[in-house]
Structure 1
Amino acid sequence: MMKPGFVRIIGGKWRRRRLQVPLIAGLRPTPDRVRETVFNWLTPTIGGAYCLDLFAGSGALGIEALSRGAAFVVFVDRSPQVVTLLKEELIALEAPNADVYQANIPLNLRKTDRPFDIVFLDPPYADNLLLPSCFYLEEHGFLAPSAQIYLEAECAIKDNELPNHWRIVKCQKAGQVIYHLVNRE
């Protein structure tokens, strides 16, 4: 592993804090301007939300959610280096309202005491895991009835590609990133 880079938290109680990002092939931290837009979309619902940061990578999305008032965030990644670094970052932030674990995603996700209100889903593009992860979350009871799901992809996704009752409510492009906000109805 090479020397890590950094991203910064852009809002909430940890605004301007820098997070280390390990330089791992395929790891693409969500850009600041995309996170800013996404959290503007989520402002009405982030406070008190139970969140999942799946394919956590830098952890920027989940830590941003905690910084802005999420009640709890579960971070899951398949990389042991990412999991170790995320645990260190959460200790440094004194964030007890989080859990971090390594798993083969989506098949080894752990069931939690309650379903997730908000899910951040940004897998490595080359692994083709975005849509299978969406269906896995839906079919295995991981989502609250009115959950919101953030999807990041290299191409636009259509409603008919997603599980029933999922509706794309926002979609924007920034550089090579196309990002979506989906409501479960």
Structure 2
Amino acid sequence: MRIIAGQFKGRPIDAPAGDATRPTVDRVREALFSSLISIGGPLEGACVLDAFAGSGALGIESLSRGAARAVFCECDPKAHRVVVSNLARCKVGRDRACVLRADVFNSAARLGPVPFNLVFLDPPYRYAPEEALSIPACLAASGMLAEGALVAYEFDAKSGGAVRERAEAAGFSLLADKRYGKTGVAILQVEG
């Protein structure tokens, strides 16, 4: 794995060993960021949440492309260490990155006072869409999402219909819905 574009372009990053995490492959990450850019997604100066950080690739890619700050939330101790190591490899300091070893479902209060412009949801596929989408819904209800904030949700492509239904029920507009093999990616925006 490597950082695709921006300040850290070409830097290799590690993925946690084993099958507890499912890192976003370079091809899907590149397509995701192209989609975000094409719809005018907030990157430059943005505050980003990488909710199921894994390797931290999505948050680090955002920082590389101009995000001001990223919060990485990862409950697995091995993956947490990989995120910290990958940030160190890219020489990203604590002024731009905060890594929490915590379950994102129970950590909204610890995520920081700054509203997020962009939330990455790349949970293990065992989480149903209503579970995963409860995170940005909770953030929105708590005033922790900036106006016009986007949510990039990566999921098992087989659950695409359920994702669309749950996103609408949770008050999100679907801006993009793509498939990359077995992976689906939806870009959502809070209605309001």
The answer, yes or no, to whether TM exceeds 0.5 is: yes
Matches within 5 A, 1:85-100: 85-96=82-93, 97-100=96-99
The RMSD of aligned alpha carbons is 1.7
**What SS does the aligned partner of 2:179 have?**
strand
**What SS does the aligned partner of 1:126 have?**
coil
Between 1:147-156 and 1:109-118, the stretch displaced more is: 109-118
| Distance of 1:183 and 1:127 partners within structure 2 | 20
Equivalent residue in structure 2 for 1:134, among 125, 133, 136: 136
Higher share in strand: 1
CA shift at 1:93, angstroms?
1.3
Identity, in percent, stands at 35
| Distance of 2:170 and 2:134 partners within structure 1 | 14
Aligned residues of 1:159 and 1:167 also touching (Cα < 8 A)? no
Between 1:143-152 and 1:106-115, the stretch displaced more is: 106-115
| Distance of 1:74 and 1:180 partners within structure 2 | 21
Higher share in helix: 2
Whether 2:170 is the aligned partner of 1:170: answer no
Letter aligned with residue 170 of structure 1: A
| Distance of 1:46 and 1:99 partners within structure 2 | 17
Whether 2:25 is the aligned partner of 1:41: answer no
Q: How many residues align?
A: 179
Residue 104 of structure 1 is matched in structure 2 by 103
Residue 114 of structure 2 is matched in structure 1 by 114
| Distance of 1:131 and 1:39 partners within structure 2 | 20
Aligned residues of 1:15 and 1:67 also touching (Cα < 8 A)? yes
Q: Give TM-score scaled by structure 2 length.
A: 0.86
Whether 2:23 is the aligned partner of 1:24: answer no
| Distance of 2:22 and 2:189 partners within structure 1 | 24
Query: Per the alignment, do residues 93 and 122 of structure 1 end up closer, same or farther by CA in structure 2, a change over 3 Å counting?
Result: same
Q: Give TM-score scaled by structure 1 length.
A: 0.89
Letter aligned with residue 180 of structure 1: A
Query: Per the alignment, do residues 111 and 30 of structure 1 end up closer, same or farther by CA in structure 2, a change over 3 Å counting?
Result: closer
CA shift at 1:112, angstroms?
1.4
Between 1:32-41 and 1:46-55, the stretch displaced more is: 32-41
Letter aligned with residue 30 of structure 1: T
| Distance of 1:92 and 1:164 partners within structure 2 | 38
Letter aligned with residue 65 of structure 1: S
Structure 2 stretches of 5 or more lacking a match?
Answer: none
Aligned residues of 1:9 and 1:19 also touching (Cα < 8 A)? yes
Residue 68 of structure 1 is matched in structure 2 by 65
| Distance of 2:166 and 2:77 partners within structure 1 | 35
Residue 4 of structure 1 is matched in structure 2 by none
Letter aligned with residue 102 of structure 1: R
Structure 1 stretches of 5 or more lacking a match?
Answer: 1-6
